[in-house]
A and B are shown apart, each in its own frame.
Chain A
Amino acid sequence: MSQGFNIPRFKLPAFVAKVGARLPQWPHAIALTTALNAAKKLKLLPEDSLAMLEGRSFFVDVLDTGGQAHFTYRAGLFRPLFGAMVAPDLTFRANLSAFLQLVARQEDPDTLFFNRELSIEGDTELGLMVKNMLDAIEWPRLPGFHLPRLPNFRH
């Protein structure tokens, strides 16, 4: 069985965030919303949960890269939000390694939250919904792309 790879816990040096924050932020939002829309198209995101995101705004802040993405979900699509910041309904903040560990299912969001490596601010119920929605995604086994798997003790 493939053991996959392990994402270590790391923090990028402070200057990265300083440089990153000066770069235009919209490419992050575009990349993220494009990925989310692709996931939706593949029917990976449950419709009943998506309906509850309608009109809400989200903010993802990668602390150690300075990357930020502000977006919303409206009329069936995730869309980047440009220009003046209104207070987002939900904000996720973490270092890059924590986000990667989360997406790769290497760490549990509650563990990261208890350990204060992931911060979730804003509408708590919306936050829980998004967390549960991400947990419920069945990632397709794409050829050549393996999510890291934990070693199995039962053979």
Chain B
Amino acid sequence: MLRQKIPELVCPAGSLPALKAAVDHGADTVYFGYKNDTNARNFAGLNFDQKAMVEGVRYAQSRGRHVLLAINTFAQPGRVADWQRAVDGAADLGVDAVILADVGLLDYANRRHPDLRLHLSVQGSATSYEAVNFAHREFGVRRAVLPRVLTLAQVELVIKNTPVEIEIFGFGSLCVMNEGRCWLSSYATGESPNTVGACSPAKYVKWEKSPGQMSTRLNGILIDRFGDSEPAGYPTLCKGRFEVNGDTYYALEEPTSLNVLEILPEIAGIGVAAIKVEGRQRSPTYVAQVTRTLRAALDALAGDGERFQVKPAWQADLAKVSEGSQATLGAYNRPWR
């Protein structure tokens, strides 16, 4: 029987237990970051110190899995050396690839470590094959992660016109803005993912409990208010409910999670090389739950091919860990562009 070629499953690790959970539950590849602002999930207590990195790389590679190191923020003025050191550290660690967004850093990595495999981060915001091919020609980029704003047809167009492997998001919280270009968090707090490595940093967030409701504030700005039985969302500006022309609603985005289970055959069919799970800020439990579900779905696709069917149990497992407990296909099946 002809087995369908299935995309590689790339899972997040914010801690060593999360990395082991991903590997144990069937991730082909895990990605992680340093404990500093060289990565876009720079939260207190999260991420890897040197010791944990060495152990994580050993754990994954000894089991035949790959490890990617995300250095996906933009080098800040006067501190470029910190980002370059992070790249040097990745080469020393022997990771399978680094995920970079900053053009200057891509250039540095390409010149200094010609053997280090480079992936273009979603933060690099390459949305066309011209942009992807530019990164390939200039810096030898081997894989690009496409932003979550393209339709499946657009993803296919990119794949057909580039030698670079294409990775897309398969599951996780949505960040609606063209990745790498959103400044909402900076507007409210002066800090954003591209500068300090965190959207809506926790020190600006206040959850205020009062009888019957909870209010979320970001640097004093009221983002949302939930009744006691209403599900809550992340405290980012894009997910707030605001008053627009007298109506209060999710003016920018509904708090939902992306979930591509339904279109997995199409994704594999157009030749997507890898699907990525969002969530380095989530716990090992989340990583285990999402990884085993997607593994089961991908293995079913490999075995069943055209007869592939989404199992309700998979959807239920993923719905449970979703933000806002609802799922969407995001831009992938959008009729308009």
Contact = CB atoms under 8 A, between A and B. Distances in A.
Contacts, number: 111
B193 interface: no
B228 interface: yes
A62 to B, nearest CB: 17
State the main secondary structure of chain B at its contact with A.
mixed
B78 interface: no
Contacts of A2: none
Interface residues of B, number: 45
A110 B282 CA distance: 7
Contacts of A154: 25-26, 295, 299
Contacts of B289: 108, 150
Contact of B320 (A111, A120, A128): A111
Given A150-B288, A150-B292, A108 B283 contact: yes
A135 B284 contact: yes
A136 B16 contact: yes
Interface stretch (B84-92, B198-206, B244-252): B198-206
A146 interface: no
A135 B26 contact: no
A125 B44 contact: yes
Contacts of B26: 152-154
Interface in B1-21: 14-18
Contact of B325 (A105, A114, A124): A114
B233 A114 contact: yes
Nearest to A105: B285
Interface residues of A, number: 36
A46 B15 CA distance: 12
Interface string B186-205: 00000000000000011101
Contact of B232 (A105, A109, A116, A151): A116
Contacts of A128: 43-45, 202
B296 A153 contact: yes
B134 interface: no
A81 interface: no
A132 B45 contact: yes
Contacts of B286: 108, 110-111
B45 A114 contact: no
A34 interface: no
B25 A138 contact: no
A3 B285 CA distance: 15
A121 interface: yes
B229 interface: yes
Nearest to A101: B285
Contact of A152 (B24, B46, B49): B24
A150 B17 CA distance: 14
Contacts of B45: 46, 49, 52, 128-133, 136
B177 interface: no
A54 interface: no
B16 A138 contact: yes
